[in-house]
């Protein structure tokens, strides 16, 4: 089943309705066991279990503790396939209810576990295996966003009009697909000191990333990538005979799709270009220190500098109410789109990704606009208020959007509001979802979405470490 089918078909399961007919639990209730039984879990981490017990025993809000117990280990419990291939760890990570590995999702799914590696060597091996698998995938096709473990599997997108390759689930070109593996690799290296995943194959994957980014600056023509799909969803294919809408080549990188897998309107997706700038500088440091490749490091930094210069010139626009803000998309001809998407990278996530300082004035202006009725995808409902996006339509709030708002919030009040929103909108399931209706959380998409589950756990842990008093009620 594909992501779009979940929009049409996925609503709350009958069991979930039975668990919470009123839409939630009081903190004093007895919470049912909904986590995957121990004998059916795909991977067990001592460090993760210790963290679960620590949170459960330390916070007063028992519903949040129960949700954390369900959500934080969900990636390990249900989505990972860990093996040893040619003496090296190899980890295939599905996104949840779709049997495919997204470079973006898989990176984000295991990222919150990085801080726990020091207490769990097997967990470190698992994450090293993700890095190895991602390197393999990038070599297969740097333009693809999602892959199969079975090279012979033929999925529903095999007939897309693009250069589909064996083992590729989907070939939507998204800048962030090549940024996330660098982000994961960089922090893995910084925290563990382990260099074994960063061999010549990994170095060559960085070369491929730089080449792909350069191609998609489109200074010398449209480049090798194009994409068309026979579909009823306009956002699932590209205009311009598969090359997307035009933009002026100014040094920014074209992204034909967003991290939501929706087609861009204007090809310069600003949050993803910021992400590329950060990732290229991380890659430069790694190839210089781990591979002694000064030339490749120079190429990475030069491209990052070029993207940064273009962002300064073209990413900032004057909004009639908010003043100077970061646009969501631009074409460098003077056209721009002011909104945000619940998926990450988005504009809200820029400090989280290390792209801007939390007190950046333009970011703060942008944030104020995005979290208001002047953003067309800011949803104000009877049940909740939060950031949505076009992927599942209007009036649908994304838990990912609520979570990233919380992860970048600077006040107790905002963090608590985000926690409260997530607590009252899980629809009795104990898990996060792709999106839920602003007036009725029981109307949601995707009952098994491991990325949202795990990053919810990251949000709770951050709150526990920085603002533990907010978890007591």
Q: Which domains does the chain have, with CATH numbers?
A: 3-471 (1.50.10.10)
The answer to whether 230 touches 261, Cβ cutoff 8 Å, is no
* Nearest CA among 370, 315, 316, 330 for reference residue 348: 370
Q: Number of helices (H) and strands (E), helices first, in the chain?
A: 15, 15
The answer to whether 45 touches 120, Cβ cutoff 8 Å, is yes
Helical (H) or strand (E) element with 168 = strand 168-170
Task: Provide the Cα torsion 58, 64, 70, 74; round to 10°.
Answer: -100
Q: For the range 152-156, what are the long-range contacts, defined as Cβ-Cβ under 8 Å and sequence gap of 24 or more? A: 155/100, 156/2
pLDDT of residue 272: 98
Rg of the chain (C-alpha set): 21
Q: Quote the tokens at residue 422.
A: 């997530």
pLDDT of residue 29: 54
pLDDT of residue 30: 73
pLDDT of residue 15: 33
Sign, Cα dihedral of 438, 439, 445, 447: positive
Q: How far apart are CA 427 and CA 372, in angstroms?
A: 25
Alpha-carbon distance values, 362 to 204, 220, 315 (Å): 36, 32, 10
Q: Quote the tokens at residue 420.
A: 């409260």
Question: From the first residue on, what is the mean pLDDT of each consecutive set of 10 residues in the chain (473 residues)?
Answer: 46 36 44 96 98 98 98 98 97 97 98 97 98 98 98 95 97 98 98 98 98 98 97 96 98 98 98 99 98 98 98 98 98 98 97 98 98 97 97 96 98 98 98 98 97 98 98 95
pLDDT of residue 25: 42
Q: How far apart are CA 114 and CA 40, in angstroms?
A: 23
């Amino acid at each position: 089943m594909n992501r779009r089918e979940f929009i049409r078909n996925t609503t709350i399961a009958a069991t979930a309705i039975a668990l919470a007919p009123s839409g939630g639990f009081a903190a004093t209730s007895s919470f049912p066991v909904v986590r995957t039984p121990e004998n059916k879990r795909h991977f067990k981490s001592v460090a993760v279990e210790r963290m679960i017990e620590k949170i459960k025993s330390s916070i007063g809000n028992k519903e949040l503790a129960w949700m954390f117990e369900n959500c934080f280990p969900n990636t390990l419990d249900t989505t990972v396939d860990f093996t040893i291939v040619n003496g090296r760890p190899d980890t295939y990570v599905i996104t949840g209810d779709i049997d495919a590995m997204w470079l973006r999702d898989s990176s984000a799914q295991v990222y919150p576990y990085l801080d726990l590696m020091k207490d769990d060597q097997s967990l470190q091996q698992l994450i090293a295996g993700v890095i190895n698998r991602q390197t393999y995938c990038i070599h297969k096709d740097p333009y693809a966003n999602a892959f199969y473990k079975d090279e012979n599997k033929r999925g529903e997108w095999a007939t897309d009009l693009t250069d589909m390759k064996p083992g590729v689930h989907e070939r939507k070109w998204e800048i962030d697909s090549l940024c996330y593996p660098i982000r994961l690799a960089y922090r893995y290296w910084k925290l563990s000191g382990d260099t074994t995943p960063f061999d010549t194959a990994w170095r060559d994957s960085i070369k491929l990333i730089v080449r792909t980014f350069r191609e998609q600056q489109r200074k010398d023509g449209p480049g090798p990538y194009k994409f068309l799909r026979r579909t009823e969803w306009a956002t699932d294919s590209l205009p311009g005979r598969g090359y997307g809408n035009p933009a002026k080549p100014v040094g920014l990188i074209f992204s034909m799709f967003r991290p939501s897998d929706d087609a861009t309107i204007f090809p310069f997706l600003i949050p993803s270009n910021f992400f590329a700038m950060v990732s290229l500088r991380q890659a430069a440091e790694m190839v210089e220190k781990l591979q002694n490749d000064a030339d490749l490091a120079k190429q990475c930094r030069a491209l990052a500098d070029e993207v940064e210069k273009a962002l300064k010139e073209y990413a900032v626009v004057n909004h009639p109410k908010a003043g100077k803000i970061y646009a969501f998309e631009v074409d460098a001809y003077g056209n721009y789109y002011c909104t945000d998407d619940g998926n990450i990278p988005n504009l809200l996530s820029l400090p989280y990704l290390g792209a801007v300082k939390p007190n950046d004035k333009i970011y703060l202006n942008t944030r104020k606009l995005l979290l208001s009725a002047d953003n067309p995808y800011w949803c104000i409902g009877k049940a909740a208020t939060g950031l949505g996006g076009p992927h599942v339509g209007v009036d649908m709030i994304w838990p990912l959007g609520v979570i990233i708002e919380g992860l970048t919030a600077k006040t107790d009040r905002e963090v608590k509001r985000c926690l409260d929103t997530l607590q009252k909108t899980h629809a009795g399931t104990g898990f996060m979802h792709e999106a839920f209706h602003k007036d009725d959380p029981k109307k949601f998409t995707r009952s098994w979405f491991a990325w949202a589950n795990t990053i919810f756990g990251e949000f709770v842990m951050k709150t526990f470490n920085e603002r533990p008093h907010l978890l007591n009620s």
